[in-house]
Amino acid sequence: MANDELIDEIRGLIAEREELGIRGLTDHLGPSDWADIVPRLDDDEVAVLLASLPDSEIPEILEELDPANAAAILRLQPREDAADLLEAIDPDDATDIIAELPSEDREQILRAMEPEEAAEIRELSAYPPDTAGGRMTPAFVAISPDVRADDAVVLLRRVAEEAETILYVYVIDAAERLLGVLSLHNLVLTRPDTPVEDVMVSDPIRVKASADQETAARLLVDMNLLALPVVDEDDRLLGIITQDDVADVIEEETTEDFERIGGSQPLDMPYRFASAGLLVRRRIGWLLFLFLAGLLTSQVLEHYADRLQGAPALIPYIPLIIGIGGNVGSQTVTTLVRAIGVGEVRLSDVWWVLAKEMAVGLSVGFIMGLVGYLRVGFPEGFQIGIVVGATIMLVALWSATVAAVLPLVLERLGVDPAVVSAPLITTLVDATGLLIYMTIAGLVLLQM
Amino acid sequence: MANDELIDEIRGLIAEREELGIRGLTDHLGPSDWADIVPRLDDDEVAVLLASLPDSEIPEILEELDPANAAAILRLQPREDAADLLEAIDPDDATDIIAELPSEDREQILRAMEPEEAAEIRELSAYPPDTAGGRMTPAFVAISPDVRADDAVVLLRRVAEEAETILYVYVIDAAERLLGVLSLHNLVLTRPDTPVEDVMVSDPIRVKASADQETAARLLVDMNLLALPVVDEDDRLLGIITQDDVADVIEEETTEDFERIGGSQPLDMPYRFASAGLLVRRRIGWLLFLFLAGLLTSQVLEHYADRLQGAPALIPYIPLIIGIGGNVGSQTVTTLVRAIGVGEVRLSDVWWVLAKEMAVGLSVGFIMGLVGYLRVGFPEGFQIGIVVGATIMLVALWSATVAAVLPLVLERLGVDPAVVSAPLITTLVDATGLLIYMTIAGLVLLQM
Over residues A134-176, the pLDDT tens digits come to 888 887 888 888 888 888 877 777 776 666 666 788 999 988 8
Q: pLDDT-based confidence at B366, cuts 50/70/90?
A: very high
**Residue of higher predicted confidence among B57 and B429:** B429
**B403 reaches A (C-beta below 8 A):** no
* DSSP 8-state symbol, A324: H
Q: Specify the pLDDT at position A354.
A: 92
**CATH classification (class only), B271-445:** mainly alpha
CB distance B189–A336 less than 8 Å?
no
What DSSP element (H or E) covers B229?
strand B227-231
CB distance A309–B312 less than 8 Å?
yes
- ipTM here: 0.75
Task: Count CB neighbours of B434 within 10 A.
Answer: 26
User: What is the rounded average pLDDT for all residues in chain B?
Assistant: 83
Is the CB of residue B399 less than 8 Å from the CB of residue B329?
A: yes
Secondary structure (DSSP) of A376-415: HHHHH-HHHHHHHHHHHHHHHHHHHHHHHHHHHHHHHTT-
Q: pLDDT-based confidence at A25, cuts 50/70/90?
A: very low
Return residues 47-106 of B near A (CB < 8 Å). Answer: none
Task: Count CB neighbours of B245 within 10 A.
Answer: 24
Close Cβ partners of A353 (under 8 Å, ≥ 6 residues apart): A336, A345, A404, A408
* CA dist list (Å): B259 to A197, A367, B280: 49, 21, 13
**A202 reaches B (C-beta below 8 A):** no
Judged against a pLDDT cut of 60, whether residue A443 lies above it is answered with: yes
Residue from the list B221, B318, B359 with its beta carbon closest to the beta carbon of A247: B221
Backbone φ/ψ region at B240: left (φ over 0), alpha (ψ -120 to 50), beta: beta
Backbone φ/ψ region at A390: left (φ over 0), alpha (ψ -120 to 50), beta: alpha
State the smallest CA–CA distance between residue A104 and chain B in angstroms: 32
Judged against a pLDDT cut of 90, whether residue A395 lies above it is answered with: yes
For the ranges A400-404, B229-233, B442-446, the lowest mean pLDDT is seen at B442-446
Q: What is the CATH number of domain A285-445?
A: 1.10.357.20
Secondary structure (DSSP) of B276-336: HHHHHHHHHHHHHHHHHHHHHHHHHHHHTHHHHHH-GGGGGGHHHHHHHHHHHHHHHHHHH
* 3-class DSSP assignment, residue A137: strand
User: What is the rounded average pLDDT for all residues in chain A?
Assistant: 83
Over residues A267-283, the pLDDT tens digits come to 887 787 788 899 899 99
Annotation: CATH topology of A3-126: MgtE N-terminal fold (1.25.60)
CB distance B360–A430 less than 8 Å?
no
Q: Give CA torsion, residues A368, A370, A371, A374, to 10 deg.
A: 150
Domain regions of chain A by residue span = 3-126, 142-245, 285-445
Is the CB of residue B145 less than 8 Å from the CB of residue B171?
A: yes
- Calpha distance A358→A399 (Å, rounded): 9
Q: Which CATH architecture has domain A142-245?
A: Roll (3.10)
Annotation: CATH topology of B142-242: CBS-domain (3.10.580)
Residue B222 C-alpha from the chain's centroid: 17
Q: pLDDT-based confidence at B24, cuts 50/70/90?
A: very low
Residue type, A414: G
CB distance A267–B33 less than 8 Å?
no
CB distance A20–B263 less than 8 Å?
no
Judged against a pLDDT cut of 90, whether residue B86 lies above it is answered with: no
**Range from B85-94, B170-179, B189-198 that averages highest in pLDDT:** B170-179
- Calpha distance A305→A265 (Å, rounded): 36
Q: pLDDT-based confidence at A43, cuts 50/70/90?
A: low
Q: Specify the pLDDT at position A41.
A: 66
Q: What is the mean pLDDT of residues B188-211?
A: 85
**B186 reaches A (C-beta below 8 A):** no
Over residues B306-315, the pLDDT tens digits come to 888 888 889 9
Q: pLDDT-based confidence at B1, cuts 50/70/90?
A: very low
Over residues A242-273, the pLDDT tens digits come to 877 787 788 888 888 888 888 888 888 778 77
Judged against a pLDDT cut of 50, whether residue B190 lies above it is answered with: yes
A285-445: same fold as A142-245?
no
CB distance A185–B166 less than 8 Å?
yes
Is the CB of residue A138 less than 8 Å from the CB of residue A239?
A: yes
Judged against a pLDDT cut of 50, whether residue B25 lies above it is answered with: no
* Residue A407, CA atoms < 13 Å, CB-side half-sphere: 34
Residue of A nearest to B19 (CA): A211
Q: pLDDT-based confidence at B88, cuts 50/70/90?
A: confident
State the smallest CA–CA distance between residue B32 and chain A in angstroms: 5
State the smallest CA–CA distance between residue A209 and chain B in angstroms: 8
Would you give the end-to-end CA distance of chain A in angstroms? 72
* DSSP 8-state symbol, B194: S
Q: State the Cα angle at A359 between A358 and A360, rounded to 5°.
A: 90
- Calpha distance A441→B132 (Å, rounded): 56
